[in-house]
Structure 1
Amino acid sequence: MTSVENPPPGGRASADGGAVDSGGGGAGGGGGGGVAGLPPGVRPRPQLPPKPPIDTIRYSMNNIKADIKRIGLDLQS
């Protein structure tokens, strides 16, 4: 039997007739086992913290400028 007649455990046969590169030992292996249902060699997106609202950034920058002026330094903007 060929791999087309017996699909891989994932339930789908590949488009090239079942010759699936698992990334085992070649130079372009891609890292191996998939994570959270992703195919092998595909990394999940990194988890980034949410960006603060722009008003928070402006408020913080105004406080920094006020502190610098208070201690006698001049911030060029």
Structure 2
Amino acid sequence: MCPETRRFIADNDDWLRVFQLPSYAPDLNPVEGIWSLLNRGGPADLAAASLDHLVRVIKRGLKEIQYRPHLIDGCLA
């Protein structure tokens, strides 16, 4: 945390409460599970030819996940 942020927190501690969270906490952020499922299909290892190509691959992966609701439920557990 930068010095300015620490100073702001200290100056406003009468009404501001800060919780330090881990940098990676999939149990606190369900979308991490969705990205994990999506990356199993390939975007992490993809050398996209263009932005449009990358968007198509991601949309296709999300559509596959959409039709498998048990996977989404697993991300919310």
TM-score by length of 2: 0.28
Which structure carries more relative contact order (alpha carbon 8 Å, separation 6+)? Answer: 2
Query: Comparing both structures, which one devotes a greater share of its residues to helix?
Result: 2
Name which one, 1 or 2, has greater alpha-carbon Rg. 1
TM-score by length of 1: 0.28
